[in-house]
Each structure stands twice: as C-alpha cells, then as structure tokens.
Structure 1
C-alpha cells in the first residue's frame, strides 16, 4: 500500500547535494511569523506564549541520496540513515492563518484567538467573487464546542489580510485600557471581546491550585489549556454570504495540539514525602505516562502503518499499536546563534526535543492529512525545562532566533 499524498518528491542526482542556504523553507516560515500582525501593540502580549498555525496546501521534498536517488515513493524509502529524503524543499501556504496566546491588560491576563484570511486577488474567495471582496468579509467560526457565530472581518492594510482577534476579557472597561492601535482595531471590528468563544484566564493554572490534581480536569474549557488541544472549525464568505470558501460545506478544521511538556505543561503534580523510602519531600511533575490514571492516553505509543518499521526493525507487524516510546539514539546538541534544524519529516519514528538552556521556536506539522484537521505548521516557543514530542509522520524543525547558544537534548528514532 502506498502513502496517499499530494506532495512532490524532487529527485536529487546522485553525487550532488541540495543548496539549503537558498530559498530555505524554514526561513520562509519564520518570515511569515515575523510579519504577523496583532490587534494591539506587542507589549500587551506574552511573547513566549504566542502560538501560530500556518496551514499549507502542499509540500515538496528532496529525494534520497546516493544509489537510492530514483526511489521517490515515500513508502519505499527504507534507508533509515539517509536524512536527505526527509528534508522539505518548499511549501505552499493556504489563505488562512491562526494565532492564539495570552494578552495582559489591566489586572487581567487571559487568552485571545486571531484568525485571518489572505487579501490578495488570487485567494480562493477573491477569485470566486471576481476580485470584488470589498472592505469586509464574513467568518463562520466554532471554537471547541462553542458557537458557531458569524462575524464581519475587516481588511487590515498593514498585513494585506482580513483579520479578526477575539479576546476573552471579562469586563466592560476595555476602551479605557487599550492603546491607540488597539482602540482603532476595536472601532473597526478587528478586535472583538468574545469571552464565550475564547474562555479562561492565566490564573486558572496557578501553582497553588494544582497539587494532587490531574491537569486535564483543571479548567478544561480554557482556550490556552497547557495539555488539551483546541479545535477550531471555520469557513469564510464574502460580506453578503453569496460565495463561500468552506471546502464544499465540510468547513476547515484546525487544531492547536503540539505535545509540549515541562514545568508549566504537565499531566499531574504533587508532593511525595520520603520518596522511594528516602527522606524529605519531593515535588513532582508527571509529564507522560503509561501507568495508572494515564494508562489509556497512549501518548507514548504509535499506530503502525504498512510502510512503518516497528521498534524491532521490521514491517511485518500487522499494523499493530506500539504502546511504548522506542529510543534508538540520544544526542546533545548545541545550536549556535541563528542556527536552525531544518523542516523535515520522520516517516516512522517518534522523537523528543528537550530544551536544556535557552529557548527556540519549535515547529511541528503533519506530513499527511489527518482526519480531524488540516495540515498546518504549528509554532511555539520551546523554553528551558520543556520538551516537544513528535509522532511518526510529523514534520518538525527548531530554530535558535537568539544571539546566544542554546543547548538541546534529543532522543528517539531516525526516519
């Protein structure tokens, strides 16, 4: 059985190496992130908590190297140590971008969600209306189980996009607290207070509230929950709702769901006296587990497909489920300033990136279209003491955007 995909695999002649310094897709993705606009000035937002979804139509991969150069079907690329065949050459973005994070205003810190649509004449919606979209379009949106609602979305000349940003602010004094940019966004409908659609506040997860609790049971409706994914369903229309960009009525399904764990993102926490027969007290964070309360979550396991090698190096596995995380290597990496591990896939194995010192931008996405969501690059800040885990089939990358070295521990399996 071959993998069903719409991507392009470019054959690289044996004995040659791609020029990764030219038109690098990781730098293209970082540029998209840097150009993203927010409703108010940046100082209102907690930068380390900003999260981005950049959906894409298609990908272009480099083919294998050496004697395998002509094997372009991914399900047959079985050389585990040939990294060239993993690497992304190019991607084509869709019209939608989503951003979520935490915003602080007055005494409140809570979640926001920003959704935008490309304003150029070649967007799907613009083409269907003969480039007659005007100053506003419409957004049909459902967040988790809340909604749907339909809202007008104004054009933002700063970004050449139609953009709306929902805040979960609970009070009625927002106009007295906003800066000039935020007030203008509020007046033209780019900034909307919608605390039914975007819920919660940062204090839901204060440390003193979490001892001896399972995180999945704490404020599960919080739109910035550290463990639970946030599912968003949406569709776009012209202002008069005559033309729709909705995947023929199926709508678009997006999800913030990167597996990121650490001191602030954990399954459970507590205090253990005399740990394992020792002395004193130990405060613990349970990050991932196959035991006890967590035995059914299967986060450490993977579903095997026909093209996958299992943990024992064979494809003769009857598409079983592996309930464990197999480790074939452990590495320490030192990423110099402005160094980036490029966008690439792992066809088979899981992998973990643990930030030991410093911080970087972690990227995880789907190589194949998943049933519950569109293909997206999800970007989050990976801080020291936190790790990101990717599953087989995930795309991923990490870039050090600082002027200092960062140190990283990695483990998992190749390809």
Structure 2
C-alpha cells in the first residue's frame, strides 16, 4: 500500500488496523484467532487482531536454543476529538456535536478545518452484537471566532476552552429550531444491517496527505504521529525474508496517547499472549518440548531479545531553536532519532542505544539524538511499558517531526525512507 494511501485511509485506530490487515494479507500473512489451535508452520507469516491493535509476525524456519524475538513497536491511535455518547445540541440555528478530547492535541489547530468523522458502530443483529467500520462522506467544522469579535487574538493567542469550543457544526437546525439526532444519521450509515446500539466515532482532518517544500522534500499530513511508524514497520516486515531462527514481530498497540493502560494498549496482555502462543508452537514444531514447556525459559528468551519502539521525535523548530537541549537538536532530513531520557520516559539505555547505533551503521542510516530539556516535561511511548512488563531490552527511536500533535504534522520524506531501511535491516 502506498504511504499516502495509508495516511489518508487510516482515519481511526480501527481503520489503521484495517489498512494493516489488507497490507499484510496482500503479502501472504494468514490471520489467526487466539483461540485457533491450528499449527503454525515454520517460515510462515501470521496476523492477530484485537480491536484497534494488531500483531504481525514471521515464524522462524527452525526454533533452537539461540532463537530470540526481534520486535518493532508502534501505535495505531493519535490525538483526536471523539463524539460523546449523547452529543446533540442546538445553538444559533445550527446542530452541533459535543466532542471529548482524546490524548493531547493542539486545540487551536482543530478550528477552521474540514473535519471528517469515522470509527466503529456496534449494532444488534439476530440477538448478537456485531461491529462495522464507518467513514462518513460529509464534512463538519468548528469555526473560529472572527477577529472583529476577538480583537486581542493576534496578541494574546487563541485560547480554546475544550468544554465550550469543541462543539462541531454538522448541519442546520430544523425550522422549529430542533436538533437532529446524530445517532439517527449513524443508523443510516449502518443501513439495514441491524439496529445501532452504540458507537465510537472521532473527528479527523479530512485534507489528504501531500508533499511539500520547493523540492517536494517534506510530507504534510494529519496523523503522522504515529501512522508514519506503523507504515515503516509494516513495510519492513512485509519485505523481510523468513528468519532462520528468530521470530520477527511487529506490534501495533492502541491507546498510547492516553497512557496505554487498556486491553488493546501496551500495558495489556495482547502482545505477551501472542508471543507465548507462537513460541510454544515454534518449539513444538522443532521438537523442543523442554523449551516450550518452561515459563522460566520463555522469560529468559524475552530478556535476551530486542525491541525497537518506533514513535515520532521532536525536530528542532527553525523559529524556536531555544526549545531544544544544546547538542540534541534533530533536524528534518537528518535521519532517524535516538530518544533517551534520564527519568526513563523512553526505554533506551546505554546498551540498547549502542545496539541501535550499530544497526544504523549496518543499514547506512544517519542517527541523531534527542534529549528533553530539564525544565520541560518529557513525553513517552509504548517502549517503557512493554520493556518493563516483558523484560525485553528496548530502544526508543523515531522520525523527526514538526507540529507534533497538531491536526496536521510535518516530516521529511527521506527520514521515512531511512526508517523503513533501518527496520528492514533489523528484521533481516
């Protein structure tokens, strides 16, 4: 799948997983359920899905005492505005939808944008609850207040009250001033498939991804954090050959933007369950029952494995270079970024960082370093959560980015290509 197609189609975590599913299916990956007891063939590729999360992997040709896991981690979610369960309001002749803030978006960037809506519908059919992906064809909007009514906006900045200001206009009110029900519109999207019971719908930037800069060197798009990492990891795994002894695994978690403590998040048991399943299957296929039956052996293997936590990194802003720590100012087009933090908001340590630097040399990819200033709080990734729960040595890396958590972000095309090469080298 083309990168821009991936960016344009992945408008919710569930749509991201749907895109990944199709990408892996086209490459011959077989989708399995956790309850599936069928054998896992050596050298074959498989996919597991849990809601807005997905794990894809290539089985080794043979499991032996030197077998390990090579993991690349990313997340499918991004800052967004989610439509509340009972969103309908009417004001000044317009029907509006109240939205809840998901993650930490830059509020002002959501104003005066063409907003699409997408997500998942839960409905009843024949007494059972089923789900359906939906992406509406209409555009909504959250208008800014005119400068004539907010004279100090250019001096004081746009101050957004998320409770009062995140009511999206979606249609005109009826002649008697009453609001239409958004749930009725969603029932229409569902069609005759069944009776709508609930929904999880979020707004998204509807402008397509594009190349920018005089030489088309930059990428402008919504959701680059962390769809850029998802695409790079998936593309690298698809291009990788069947590994001789190691398990090559790509894990795409949900809910990173809100702390990962969910069933589909990095703090859940999804990844561990998949790793235990394929480890036991691989050992059994290679006639190593002693390894497959030992939980201590599995834990030891995890401790000797390695993971790349791939997420966006802060590029230095040309207009605000003072916001970066001296000697730690990654630039667009300068290559991938190694992220470290003394408070362990990133999982990198001296040994995992050294392994990353060596990997960059092998892949012929330039490496930059990011450290957050002491007087500013540091963000985090799925890396620390997975490294702590599984005991896997992990390094945090990313493509340098400007406008992180804006509704529309910016990266360099060459850095995305470098990330694909790096993760592909890792899987090889």
Q: Provide the TM-score with structure 2 as the length reference.
A: 0.26
Q: Which has the higher strand share?
A: 1
Q: Relative contact order (C-alpha < 8 Å, sep 6+): which is higher?
A: 2
User: Which has the larger helix fraction?
Assistant: 2
